[in-house]
Amino acid sequence: MAGIGSSVIASVALAKGKIKAARLNVTQSLLFVTALVAAAFYLYERKVSGMRMHMAGPAAA
């Protein structure tokens, strides 16, 4: 959804002749989505590793 939104905003900026603004909007969108996916992956891995320790019991620690 972020890609679709940024492409629409970039298209409007390009239609107005604002090339620099269009590039900036697309770059910001890519950075935001990358950070969001990285945070989600980190939190998922943290949760899964915590579940593994809990399921293994105290002897595994």
Give the number of domains in the chain.
Answer: 1
- Please say whether the beta carbons of 5 and 29 come within 8 A: yes
> For 15-36, what is each residue's pLDDT tens digit?
999 999 999 999 999 999 999 9
Which residue range forms the structural domain that includes residue 38?
Answer: 2-60
| Separation of alpha carbons 43 and 48, rounded Å | 9
**Token couple for 35:** 């950070």
What average pLDDT does range 38-52 have in this prediction? 85
| Separation of alpha carbons 6 and 31, rounded Å | 12
| Separation of alpha carbons 26 and 24, rounded Å | 6
Q: Is the pTM of this model over 0.75?
A: no
